[in-house]
Amino acid sequence: MSASSSTGLVTQLDRDGFCLVPGVLGQTTIDLLTELAEQKLGGTDDDHFRRFAHHGSLIPITFDDERLATVLTSPEIRTAFCRLGFTDPRWISGYVIAKPPHSPGLWWHQDWWAWGHPYSYRRQATQIFCMIYLQSTSRKNGCLRALPGSHLNRHPLHDALPEPHTLHIEAEGEDSLSHRVVTGESEIQADPGDLVIGDVRVLHATHPNTTDSWRTAVDLLFVPHFNSLPNEFQAHYVNQFCLPPVGWWTDPSHPLIGSPLSEILPVFQGPDRERMMEYCRQPQWPATQ
């Protein structure tokens, strides 16, 4: 990634709420992620895919998977994040998200959970998703769709959509507002090795997978500027269920101490380190915005 291209991507991520960083990961890393995804999918029953029909599989990945640790600590990821201006990136969770052949699209939604906190209205992203697709994506197999600028500005969809990740929105029909083509939306078509980076506040969806093949991705969630967050956010993030138990960093004999992975996991030394913040999934921008 050249200096000029990285500057352009930083600008796009800030302005639009998403960007595509091309060709970051090599084939060895893609092969590791493919192996990880296949193992997770192989242990998943049909009921799970029916429950997450629109979303695709939503299978957690935890810190103790050695393949994941190799990816998280790879020089390619570290360099890409540095060039995107992430000052202290920390991994908090991850999922294998696979859309089966002939499966419906994912509904419009945003994934931010702390809209009740004033920090959520800062321009800089507090949390980002990093999608790594294991097959090239297109409109036909369910590529990502996003609404530029919707991470910073009120959009009519904010007030019209059901709460994300609920049975209510999962039951929305293909002709509903939750799935409709929206004026100004962008398609993000990616190849294996690309990083699709998005502010979790941005409104996004996918097209249906109308092909005979699976479309699989590994979704890694990061906090890009962890050390600059208020204490309550830091305390919340160390409690994520994909991470080791809170306080591992205080045990000198813990196997993570001194490991490469420890450098990208969140650590909070404050006294209130088991605090979880209140969830609020509805933006509270002024109605006139």
The domain that contains 258 carries what CATH number?
2.60.120.620
Residue 162 tokens read as: 């059901």
Please report whether residue 30 resides in a domain.
yes
Please report whether residue 147 resides in a domain.
yes
User: What are the strands of the beta sheet with 195-199, ordered from one edge?
Assistant: 18-21, 195-199, 128-133, 215-223, 90-99, 59-61
Structural domain containing residue 138? 3-264
Residue 139 tokens read as: 């409109």
Please report whether residue 278 resides in a domain.
no
Residue 1 scores a pLDDT above 70: no
Q: What is the DSSP letter of 92?
A: E
Residue 40 scores a pLDDT above 90: yes
Please report whether residue 269 resides in a domain.
no
| Number of C-beta neighbours around residue 130 at 10 A | 22
Question: pLDDT of 46-75, one tens digit each?
Answer: 887 777 788 788 899 999 999 999 999 999
Provide the whole-model pTM: 0.95
Residue corresponding to tokens 């639009």: 16
Please report whether residue 273 resides in a domain.
no
Residue predicted with more confidence, 229 or 1:
229
User: What is the per-residue pLDDT for 2?
Assistant: 55
Q: What is the DSSP letter of 219?
A: E
Residue 11 scores a pLDDT above 80: yes
Please report whether residue 280 resides in a domain.
no
User: What is the per-residue pLDDT for 4?
Assistant: 52
Mean pLDDT calculated for residue range 111-132: 96
Question: pLDDT of 205-223, one tens digit each?
Answer: 999 999 999 999 999 999 9
**Mean of pLDDT over the chain:** 93
Please report whether residue 282 resides in a domain.
no
Residue predicted with more confidence, 163 or 228:
228
Distance CA 82, CA 229 (A): 18
Mean pLDDT calculated for residue range 171-188: 89
Tell how far CA 171 is from the center of its chain.
23
User: What is the per-residue pLDDT for 289?
Assistant: 46
Distance CA 152, CA 132 (A): 24
- Strand, coil or helix: 33: helix
Asked if 95 and 218 touch (Cβ cutoff 8 Å), the reply is yes
Please report whether residue 289 resides in a domain.
no
Residue 196 scores a pLDDT above 60: yes
Domains: count for the chain: 1
